Amino acid sequence: MKVSIIFLSYNHAGFVGDALRSALNQDYPEYELIVHDNGSTDGTRQIIESILAKEVPRHVRVVIAGDGINHGLVEAFNRAMSASTGEILIHFSGDDISYSHRLSRSVEVFQKQPDVMLVVSEAHRIDNNRNFLTYTNYAPKNEMYSYVIEPKHIYAHSPILGAAAAYRACVIKNFNPIIPGFCHAEDNVYWVRALLLGKIYYIADSLLCYRLHLDNISENEWKWRLGITDSLKASHLEFVRKHSLNFLQWEIDIQHARQKGYIDESRFAQALKTAKLDAMRWALIFNALSVEPWSAWFPLALESIKCGGLREFTNKLKLRLSERRRLRYWNTHAKYMAGRLTS
C-alpha cells in the first residue's frame, strides 16, 4: 500500500530533529513524506531544511507543502493532506517520536481489515527531556469501534489522539476540506468521518512517544499537574467552547455522507442527533462554567431537550446555578487529568 506521512510542525525547535528523523527512518520499504511547517519563528524550519538536505534515505520521497505562513492547525492539515498521494495517511507531529515500525504495523491492520478507515495506537508519554511518564492506557487490548456497535456516542467510545492516527485517504478525500473555525481540531472531524465510512481500530501497543509539555496545543495531563490556575481554567473554557463548535463541521459531513450514499437514512438521522447532542453538551458546560447570561442559556437548553438531552440539561442547570458545584467541577477535572500521569 502506498503510504504518506503527514509531518506537521510549529515552533518545535527543541524537538523537531528527533521527530523528523523518526519519520525518515521507518522500516516501511517506500513512502512519501509530506512536510508542512506552519510558519515557525523559532528556527524549526531551518532545522528541518538542514536534516532534509543531508539525511533523506533513497526510499523516502519528500514533498514540501508549507509556504512559511501560519495558516492555523486545521488549514495546515488541509494543505498537507491535499499534497499527499498515499492510500494511507499517517500523522507525525514535530514534537513526538515515532518508533521505526509505526508505518508497517499500521498498514498491517488496514491490509487485514478492509472496513477499517482509521487506526489509532497507544502512545508512550514522555516529557521535554524524553523521560518516560507512567500513564493510564486508553484500553488494555486491541479494540474495534463503529456506529454499528455504539451509534449513540459521536466517537463510538473510541480513543482519540490525532498524533497517533493513521487514515485511509478516503477519510480525507471523500469529503471537502475542513472549514477553519468549524471544529476544535482535525481529529474531531476525521474520527467522525471514519465512523461514517466504516470502523476504527485501536492498537494497544505504543507506536510512538507522545511528548507532554506546556506548549502543547491540546489540553493535556502535564499542564494539570501544576495545579489549577486562572490561565489554565481560561484555556479549558476555550477548549470546551471550541468543542461546542464541532457540530458545524459534523453536520456538513453527515449531510455529505448521506448524499453520497455512504450512510442510509436511519444512520443519517442517528448520527445527526448524536452530533447535535454532543455539541449541546459542550455548549451547556461552557455556559454553566462561564455563567453566561440566561438569554444565552435558554436557546441551548431548549435545543438540548428537543434532542433528548433532558438529563444533560438538568445536570448543567445545576452547575449553572451553583458556585459550589462549579468549584467541584474544577477540582474533579484537575484530579482526573493529573491522575492519568502517575510519575
What domains can you pick out in the chain, each with its CATH number? 3-214 (3.90.550.10), 222-339 (no CATH)
CB burial of residue 188 (10 Å; 0-12, 13-18, 19+): buried
Residue 308 has a pLDDT of 78
| pLDDT tens digits along 90-132 | 999 999 999 999 999 999 999 999 999 999 999 999 988 899 9
Mean pLDDT of 25-40: 96
Kindly list the distances between the CA atom of residue 214 and the CA atoms of 156, 204, 293, 331, in Å, as whole numbers in the listed order: 30, 26, 32, 20
Average pLDDT over residues 161-175: 96
Compute the distance between CA of residue 159 and CA of residue 138 in angstroms, rounded to an integer.
Answer: 6
DSSP string, 261-303: TSS-HHHHHHHHHHHHHHHHHHHHHHHHHHT--HHHHHHHHHH
- Give residue-wise pLDDT tens across range 37-91: 999 999 999 999 999 999 999 999 999 998 888 988 899 999 999 999 999 999 9
pTM, entire model: 0.93
Segment 174-200 mean pLDDT: 95
Whose grid coordinates read 488549514?
75
| CA-CA-CA-CA dihedral for 242, 15, 207, 225, to nearest 10 | -60
How many helices (H) and strands (E) would you count in the chain?
13, 10
Task: Label residue 247 by pLDDT band (50, 70, 90).
Answer: very high
Inter-residue contact 242 to 285 (CB < 8 Å): no
Q: What is the pLDDT of residue 212?
A: 86
DSSP category for residue 246: T
Q: With a cut of 90, say whether residue 301 has pLDDT above it.
A: no
For all residues of the chain together, what is the average pLDDT? 92
Find out whether 208 and 102 touch, Cβ atoms under 8 Å.
yes
Among residues of the chain, what percentage have pLDDT more than 70? Answer: 95
Q: Which of 117, 81, 258 is CA-nearest to residue 193?
A: 117
CA dist., res. 59 & res. 3, Å (int): 12
Whether 9 and 52 have beta carbons less than 8 Å apart is answered as no
Q: What span, in angstroms and rounded, lies between the C-alpha atoms of 88 and 260?
A: 21
